[in-house]
Structure 1
Amino acid sequence: MTEKEKMLAGEIYSAIDPEVVKELSETREIIFEYNSLRPSETRRMKEIIKNLFGHVGDDHFLINQPFRCDYGKQISIGKRFFANFNFTVLDEAPVTIGDDCFIGPNVSIYTACHSTDPVERNSRQEWAKSVTIGNNVWIGGSVTILPGVSIGDNVSIGAGSVVVKDIPSNTVAVGNPCKVIKNI
């Protein structure tokens, strides 16, 4: 398997592999163009996102600039998606977001995992775990979603939360670490 194939399979891979680094650089060029567009250039913005992401549910989406991601192709958004300023997605593994999801400003979704052992970490070996967000989810500003997390349908995540474990459907969850405080 190539290092990129290992990455997509959730196996340990070299983050400094030339193929991986080349694709990251190519995506940064695309993101630079996206973030440099005038806010009125919505047609071009949508075109870039549709070509960059693995799946876009419909034309009724908006991702405010600036936006950042690592690859783009591992990101899937459903219908009527909205993300506010400074949305960051480290998509070394699939990030799947359902229909009618609203993302507040300064939200980050991470799939990349690194060893806590400094010698292992410095070898630039890493792995990735998918993130899944259901339908009708609202994620408040400055939320961080960590690798491997699944958020159910009809969920609200409070601003500033750090989501470290799965959140079930039909709940409100807040805090660091993020915990369910209410069923809806």
Structure 2
Amino acid sequence: MSTDKEYDRMLAGKLYVTDKIKSFNREWPGKRLVQRINQLPADHVQEIIALERRIFQGEHDNVFVQPPFEVDYGRHIKVGKNFYCNVNAIFLDTNWIIIGDNVKIGPRVNLLTAGHPIDAGVRTSLLEFAQPIVIGDNTWLGGNVTVLPGVTIGNNVVVGAGAVVTKDVPDDVVVVGTPARVLRKITDADRQYWQRQADEYYQG
């Protein structure tokens, strides 16, 4: 049984107070590690990747996050294989962020698991909450996308640039807007069109 009730409440999605989390569970080690990564020269790619493996748990086959980026705890993020994230991402991993295989993330994307009560009286008492974010396989988040606490995004999804994703997204759709809404399904016609483009590239 855990000896840190407040930390357990945080990961369970219940109200908690950050300052009551015990020192051995606080966010500072992850923040210091990301600070080291962000200070490395851009061409020190292998050194960056080696340090990022300590942040991004799970598969490490072709995984790269382009610095600079930020985390909250830096130990509640799990990614699949073939993961690429462009610059200035914020992984607010107060709860788990779980990312599938073959996911691409554009610049300035915010994955925000942390939230605060709507009621001002409760909010000003320093109580807060955190709920996990899940992103499925083969999904692409465009630049400046924000994903809010508790959201699950399905497989093969395209999230248009600037969207704010406030609720779950099904598989095989394009979503856009604030709040994000389904624009359309991804169809066989889409697949056929892009496969022809790929075939032309490889045959050229």
Give the alignment's TM-score, normalised by structure 2: 0.85
Which of 123, 126, 129 aligns to 2:125? It is 123
Any idea what the Cα deviations from partners look like across 1:3-50, whole Å, max 9, x if unmatched?
111111212111122526972222221111010011121222122121
Question: Matches of 1:47 and 1:170 in 2, distance apart?
Answer: 33
Instruction: Give 1:148-167 correspondences, 5 Å limit.
Output: 148-167=150-169
Q: Which amino acid in 1 is paired with 2:10?
A: M
> Is the contact between residue 46 and residue 59 of structure 1 (CA under 8 Å) also seen in structure 2?
no
By how many angstroms is 1:93 displaced?
1.1
SS at match of 1:172: strand
Mark the runs of 5 or more structure 2 residues left unpaired by the alignment.
187-204
Paired residues, number = 183
Question: Matches of 2:131 and 2:25 in 1, distance apart?
Answer: 21
Question: Matches of 2:126 and 2:47 in 1, distance apart?
Answer: 36
Which of 36, 39, 44 aligns to 2:39? It is 36
Question: Matches of 1:83 and 1:146 in 2, distance apart?
Answer: 18
Q: Which runs of 4+ in 1 moved over 6 A?
A: none
Q: Which amino acid in 2 is paired with 1:7?
A: M
Any idea what the Cα deviations from partners look like across 1:36-91, whole Å, max 9, x if unmatched?
011121222122121123x2312311111111011121101110000001110111
By how many angstroms is 1:97 displaced?
0.5
Which has the larger displacement, 12-21 or 135-144? 12-21
Give the alignment's TM-score, normalised by structure 1: 0.94
Question: Matches of 1:21 and 1:181 in 2, distance apart?
Answer: 45
Kindly indicate whether residue 83 of structure 2 is the aligned counterpart of residue 51 of structure 1: no
Rg (Cα) greater in structure: 2
Mark the runs of 5 or more structure 1 residues left unpaired by the alignment.
none
Kindly indicate whether residue 10 of structure 2 is the aligned counterpart of residue 7 of structure 1: yes
Aligned-pair RMSD on alpha carbons? 1.5
Q: Which amino acid in 2 is paired with 1:8?
A: L
**What corresponds to 2:197 in structure 1?**
none
Kindly indicate whether residue 20 of structure 2 is the aligned counterpart of residue 17 of structure 1: yes
